[in-house]
Amino acid sequence: MPVWLATILLIFLIVTAIFGVTFKTMYPLYLVWYLKWKLKGIKQEEVEKLIKIDEGKKEEERKNQLEKINTLEKIHNLSGEEFESLVKYIFEILGYDVMVTKRSRDEGVDLMLVKESKKEIAQCKNWSKPVGSKVAREFYGTLLHMKADKGYIVTSSYFSLPCKKFVIGKPIQLIEGHELIEYLKDYFQDEQSNS
């Protein structure tokens, strides 16, 4: 075994033992170290070009997948994580910096949104039944607790009348499934007309 690999493994084991850090959380750091070592001598412009090509491929792949999601039935067939990814992508298109929260400690918040120095939050509900006022009340409490400027509850379904009444005058925007479909259709029509 090469000395450098043994050193990395030893560091990993020590960090894991001391901090309880797992490989999953340390992997990006190891990847950066490895890439710096592997890419020595390559010009920065070449590395940036490779990264842009990879990002472009991922973006195109994601657009192709999203273009196929054009009915509520197709949205309902998404898993919870896939639905969150869809909503995340829509907010990114709208110019937000988006971070997905960890499931175990999300406090009812699935996405953290930042745009023009405003802190906003979103909760995603991929439900077939209507979203009731209980969800909105709990979300409002979280919004106040987190001191967010605005909140979004996004569902693949629709909101009950009591839920809609509850959010009146509050910094919460409700987004229903049919609105997601309309947005995606408009976005892809604009993309096609611009190309």
4's tokens: 């450098």
> How confident is the model at residue 29, as a pLDDT?
52
Please tell me whether residues 27 and 97 are part of one structural domain. no
Please tell me whether residues 98 and 167 are part of one structural domain. yes
Please tell me whether residues 107 and 190 are part of one structural domain. yes
* Secondary structure letter of residue 36 according to DSSP: H
> How confident is the model at residue 15, as a pLDDT?
62
Please tell me whether residues 18 and 83 are part of one structural domain. no
Taking the model in full, what pTM does it have? Answer: 0.67
Residues of the chain with pLDDT under 70: 1, 9, 12-64, 67, 103-106, 191-192, 195
Please tell me whether residues 119 and 184 are part of one structural domain. yes
Instruction: Report how many domains make up the chain.
Output: 2
Enclosing H/E stretch for 99: strand 97-100
Please tell me whether residues 85 and 14 are part of one structural domain. no
> How confident is the model at residue 5, as a pLDDT?
72
User: Are the C-beta atoms of residues 86 and 72 closer than 8 Å to each other?
Assistant: no
> How confident is the model at residue 57, as a pLDDT?
58
Question: Which domain, by its residues, includes 15?
Answer: 3-60
Please tell me whether residues 49 and 100 are part of one structural domain. no
Lateral strand order in the sheet of 97-100: 97-100, 111-115, 118-125, 150-155, 172-175
Please tell me whether residues 105 and 21 are part of one structural domain. no
Q: What is the CATH number of the domain that holds 81?
A: 3.40.1350.10
Is 50 among the domain residues? yes
Quick check: helix, strand or coil at residue 108?
coil
Enclosing H/E stretch for 84: helix 80-93
Q: Are strands 111-115 and 118-125 parallel, antiparallel or unpaired?
A: antiparallel
38's tokens: 């592997």
91's tokens: 């907010």
